[in-house]
Structure 1
């Protein structure tokens, strides 16, 4: 091998290694950024779904307190939202949502309650069937952000 070939070959290999490491760093940065964006989007979807379920369940539960319905259409939106949760939510959230659905259906089957009875339950801390669901959702969202 000639004396000038070895330094040229070393320079060529060094340039290739530098270019490859630059490419790898850029690709890794882009991949991490892309996945971070997906995670934020997924979290936002779950937050919106949980928010909608809480609104719908609250409305149905309040309606059930003063009305005995034989109309299943009052709880169909809850079933639809839980089915959507099954696509993207962890099992703990789905279980908590199902407990809320049962509480709403049971409230429709129960006798109507006066505002005084509801106020006493609120004072005793037993009137919020959505509290466990909300806490589990918060844990899910916080865990996903880490």
Structure 2
């Protein structure tokens, strides 16, 4: 009769171990899927943030080329975007975004450019103050893992 108990116990133990392994496998799979979705969502948020920053910066820079006076209200969105980058992005992104903002302020303080002056500006790197920022964004977005 001991062999009957042993067989029953072995079958029960096998069922419990199999059930536990299935539960653990399912839990790990769901955890990995949730993490992948979280990373994808975080990446999408950063992509949208960077696109907004590029758009706002480009408008301000274009305005700065032709004007000496800036409306401070226009800078609110720019600095709000930089603030959001401090939360979501790496320090390198924040640093390059601040450099873009400084370049825009310096451009407002420089003499106005005429349409003819733009040809000389286009031939230099001065026309693209967003180059370093967009390259840093591309490098960061290429990394699919956590930032910090």
RMSD: 1.5
Between the aligned partners of 1:104 and 1:124, the Cα distance in structure 2 is 16
**Structure 2 segments unaligned to the other structure (5+ residues):** none
Between the aligned partners of 1:13 and 1:45, the Cα distance in structure 2 is 48
State the aligned residue count: 146
Q: For 1:60-139, what aligned pairs fall within 5 Å after superposition?
A: 60-139=60-139
The Cα shift of 1:121 comes to: 2.1
Q: With structure 1 as the length reference, what TM-score do the two structures score? A: 0.94
Between the aligned partners of 2:144 and 2:97, the Cα distance in structure 1 is 19
Q: With structure 2 as the length reference, what TM-score do the two structures score? A: 0.93
Between 1:78-87 and 1:113-122, the stretch displaced more is 113-122
The Cα shift of 1:104 comes to: 0.5
Q: Deviations over 1:4-41 (max 9, x none)?
A: 11111111111111001100111111111111101100
Q: Deviations over 1:81-117 (max 9, x none)?
A: 1001111111010000000000001111111012222
Q: For 1:15-34, what aligned pairs fall within 5 Å after superposition?
A: 15-34=15-34
The question of whether the paired residues in 1 share the 8 Å contact of 2:64 and 2:70 is answered with no
